[in-house]
Amino acid sequence: MKLGIIGGGGAAVALLAALTRDRLPNLDITVFEPAKNVGPGRAYLPDSDIALLNVSAERMSVLPDAPGHFLEWVKERGGLNGRSVSPAAFLPRRLFGEYLADVAAEITDRLAGRGKSVRTVGSPVIRLRQGPVGFHALTEDGRHFDGLDRVVLCVGIGGPVDVYRLARTPGYINDSYPLSAQLAAIQHEAHVLVLGTGLTAVDTVLFLLENGHRGGITMASRNGLLPTVRTSATAPELRHLSHAAVRAALAVDPVMTGERLLALLDRELREAGTGLSRACAEAVPGESVARRLRRQLQQARDGGALWQPVIIEAMHESVELIWHAMPDAERRRFLTRWHRKFVSLLSPMPQQTAVRLQTAADAGQLRVVRGVRGIRPGESPLPAFLASTGAGDIAADIVVNTTRPAAAAIPEAAIPLVESLVKVGVARRHPLGGVDVARYTNRVLAADGSENRNLFALGHLTAGTHYYTSSMLIIGRQARVVADQLLRHS
């Protein structure tokens, strides 16, 4: 059987790992990936070691049933830069990218030893057609690939969106990753405006500070909310939001509303000695950045903010069940009212990062503003940019964009590919974004709603159907589901 995998990031490697876990399948595999290597994708590119994973080493793996796989790999290679690593450590993202590339290379070698190939094509697929003898893929560089029996779309998440159409303005950096390539040339005295206040914005500021930046740095977003500081506390065993508990609750009443979810979460948190109001209080803007960081650091070191690991744990265990029990209107309400706050609560920053940011805020070098309404090029010759914000107009020499793409947005590099499928009814867009897939199989749904047995999607492209796909653990689970179906026919 000929298998085409479109996209060669973490999802593709998780699929390769799931396909070869127990035995070597009878598959000829073609991976389409425009980047130099299969493995790192967008999230785990070679970069500065300050860009850290947001999941501890012991829980990052391409194999969901072998959560220590990455940690073992790190240990086998003598740790991080020659130093041993603790299972609870948050390691550099580039290291996970090296692991992914290594896993992909090792699988390729094993398959080659059996006369099977994993071929890599270094150009994006811009059109995919399904015919009587399989799929036909056309790549951007004009090559044609015929006779693919099955195809899995693993195109991932796109980069930030150029909201204010500044792409052609000198001094504007639309994407801060990889940090070491995108930001190293910024003049140390420049006033930098970082558009966004999420984890990518935090990485950006940290890199600038570590790189010796001396000029002012303003982080600006609509709500001006930084991620919270990661607590040292670990989650107690879940009682109301574990997979089993949610399943039992849905057996009694199958409909999950936003209010019911919040009530369950509140009960879970109260029994853990905290409460939902404590979490919600962190999503209220207004506190000065230095004060917020100082307060949260203290709390995090004391093992407070217990709501944080509870929400993260509940998300990984039960998000799938909860999302599918929500009626459409509830999902939309959730996306407009809570999604951004929820994601921000789910993605805390490391304590040592908070210390660095707090030092810069105390020294008056860093500030955070909210109420961004627009950014425009300034009058020649200076300043280069003027941002209108809730704190008035702010002048900046450099603007670094770190805004997140919308939930379930299709990455730009995959739009022609998805369009080519949608246009002829082989796929349909999900009303909440991405492509529509069947809940239990990840088979792509055709325009008439039928499941395509030969076309699958993994990861962010399926976020309209599954909601939260932004984690290797969840992508790994999806990969196993797809691999099981592919193996049945190989």
Residues that bind ligand FAD (CB under 6 A): 6-12, 32-35, 41-43, 53-55, 124-125, 154-157, 411, 413-414, 417, 459-460, 470-472, 475
Q: Closest CB to ligand FAD among 125 and 387?
A: 125
Q: In this structure, are residues 274 and 306 in contact, taking their beta carbons and an 8 Å threshold?
A: yes
Q: Closest CB to ligand FAD among 199 and 326?
A: 199
Longest distance between any two alpha carbons in the chain, whole Å: 67
Phi, psi of 29 (to 5 degrees): -115, 135
Q: Beta-carbon neighbour count of residue 451 at 10 Å?
A: 16
Phi-psi region of 134 (alpha: psi -120 to 50; beta: other; left: phi over 0): left
Tell me how far, at minimum, the Cβ of 82 lies from ligand FAD, in Å: 23
Tell me how far, at minimum, the Cβ of 373 lies from ligand FAD, in Å: 26
Q: Closest CB to ligand FAD among 7 and 25?
A: 7
Q: Closest CB to ligand FAD among 123 and 359?
A: 123
What are the CB-based long-range contacts (under 8 Å, 24+) for 335-338? 335/407, 335/432, 337/258, 338/258
Tell me how far, at minimum, the Cβ of 96 lies from ligand FAD, in Å: 7
Residues across the chain? 490
Q: Closest CB to ligand FAD among 228 and 274?
A: 228
Q: In this structure, are residues 4 and 482 in contact, taking their beta carbons and an 8 Å threshold?
A: no
Q: Closest CB to ligand FAD among 157 and 193?
A: 157
Q: Closest CB to ligand FAD among 8 and 350?
A: 8
Torsion of CA 148, 149, 150, 156, to 10 degrees: 0
The token pair at 405 is 């793409």
- Cβ contacts of 204 within 8 Å, gap of 6 or more: 176, 179, 183, 194, 400, 402
Q: Closest CB to ligand FAD among 155 and 335?
A: 155
CA distance 472 to 485: 20
> If you search the block for the tokens 């109301």, which residue do you land on?
240
Tell me how far, at minimum, the Cβ of 121 lies from ligand FAD, in Å: 8
CA distance 478 to 473: 9
Q: Closest CB to ligand FAD among 460 and 477?
A: 460
Q: In this structure, are residues 310 and 238 in contact, taking their beta carbons and an 8 Å threshold?
A: yes
Q: In this structure, are residues 175 and 160 in contact, taking their beta carbons and an 8 Å threshold?
A: yes
CA distance 477 to 463: 14
- Cβ contacts of 199 within 8 Å, gap of 6 or more: 54, 227, 347, 349
Tell me how far, at minimum, the Cβ of 457 lies from ligand FAD, in Å: 10
Q: Closest CB to ligand FAD among 173 and 290?
A: 173
Q: Closest CB to ligand FAD among 125 and 151?
A: 125
Tell me how far, at minimum, the Cβ of 18 lies from ligand FAD, in Å: 13
Q: Closest CB to ligand FAD among 256 and 474?
A: 474
Tell me how far, at minimum, the Cβ of 481 lies from ligand FAD, in Å: 15
Tell me how far, at minimum, the Cβ of 97 lies from ligand FAD, in Å: 9
